[in-house]
Structure 1
Amino acid sequence: MANTPTTDALALRDMASSFDAQRGKLPVLGDAHRSPEPTAVCRLIAELGELITQLSDEVLARVTAPDRAPHSDQVITAFASAVEPAGEAVTALGAVNHQLAFLAQTEPSHDHPWVREARESAVHVIEDALATANNALHDAATWLHAAATTHSPPSVRLRAALSRPHTAASTTPPPASTTKAASTTAGPPASVRSR
């Protein structure tokens, strides 16, 4: 099936929404319902791996298409550009899992001063890594949304507005009676009000 600007815009938008959804699943430090937990982080990494595969498949399908459409190069660039931030998010979540494993390993000896310092440091690393993942997923989604907008055909409302004939009514001044009524109801002149 040949890719059209409309189908490409839909594919870009769907992929952008997938990255938005993954961003919404990111753990949040201090949130009892979304606290970082190894199983959830592993699941996120796996899902992002699937999205990276889908991005690569989208690029491959267009690069190898025998009848590549003129707009395909821009779409290929959009899908390819999202791979890097997606990879950054996976790397950041890998760091989160590493630190979570360290925290679990050191839990029995958390009262020792050097362990306490190392655990505090691990929490800061988790915080930074989650922020990195959030920003990376935001970048990927933003680029894909922007590319989808570029390739979306004009909306029905916009096409209707563009096809309407221009009327002279918008350029003619209002009737004198309307102007006079407006001036009498607008209140006293500034010089009177300031007294």
Structure 2
Amino acid sequence: MDNTPLSDALALRAMAFAFDAQRGKLPVPGDPHRSPDVVTVARQISELGKLVTDLGDEVLFRAADQNQAPHTARVITNFAAVVEPAGEAASALGAVAHQLAFLNQTESLRDQPDARDAREAAVRVIEEALATADAALHDRANSLYAASATASPPSARLQAARSRSATTARSPGPPPPNVTAAVAAPSARIARGR
């Protein structure tokens, strides 16, 4: 594995895609195809654990490199910064699994008033925890996509195209009209008309 700006940008983008993929697997209460169940949630917690391990490996690989490139510290920071949100998403899913287990255990008591209140509270906890996991995964995926765009400098062709378009946009032309005079004139006419 090489440690070039392009390979780092691709690694950041791949990790962003992994965060998006995990977000796409989140259960959706009320959706018959993505309804939360303990097994699915536990599987996703395990996958998030692997994602945290992958993040740690990305940081370790770059930190242990004796010949770090100038951009390496920034890439290490970007990978390290998303460990906590990945853990936050896994923790939120842990809360979902806990509440789902409670709902399974109290299924036979659902008609009793006390159990009904507790079960409704469990559903609210599940919804909030899923929203937390969704936000953590979404925000970190976006930050990784942005980091991947800045990790690899633009190609020489792209830089040349940008410089040509910037030069064309700045070509001399007629001076812009005097905006303040144009704005002041109508208001002066309105004032005289009264």
Instruction: Specify the TM-score bucket, using the shorter chain as the normaliser.
Output: 0.7 to 0.9
Question: What runs of 5+ residues in structure 2 fail to find an aligned partner?
Answer: 175-194
* Structure 1 residue 151 displacement after superposition: 1.1
* Structure 1 residue 122 displacement after superposition: 0.2
Question: What runs of 5+ residues in structure 1 fail to find an aligned partner?
Answer: 174-195
Q: Which residue type is aligned with residue 73 of structure 1?
A: A
Q: Which residue type is aligned with residue 72 of structure 1?
A: T
Cα offsets for 1:75-97 (capped at 9, x unmatched)? 00000000000000000000000
How do 1:132-147 residues align onto structure 2 when only pairs under 5 Å count?
Answer: 132-147=132-147
Count of aligned positions: 173
Q: Partners in 2 of 1:96 and 1:10 — Cα distance?
A: 33
TM-score by length of structure 2 reads 0.83
Q: Partners in 2 of 1:167 and 1:141 — Cα distance?
A: 36
2:13 match: 13
Q: Partners in 1 of 2:126 and 2:170 — Cα distance?
A: 62
Instruction: Note closer, same or farther for the CA distance 1:169–1:89 as it changes in structure 2 (3 Å cut).
Output: closer
- RMSD across aligned positions (CA): 2.0
* Structure 1 residue 109 displacement after superposition: 1.2
Q: Percent identity?
A: 64
How do 1:48-67 residues align onto structure 2 when only pairs under 5 Å count?
Answer: 48-67=48-67
Shift >3 Å, 4+ stretches: 162-173
* Structure 1 residue 145 displacement after superposition: 1.1
How do 1:32-181 residues align onto structure 2 when only pairs under 5 Å count?
Answer: 32-154=32-154, 158-162=158-162, 164=164, 166=167, 171=172
Q: Partners in 2 of 1:115 and 1:133 — Cα distance?
A: 27
Q: Partners in 1 of 2:127 and 2:156 — Cα distance?
A: 45
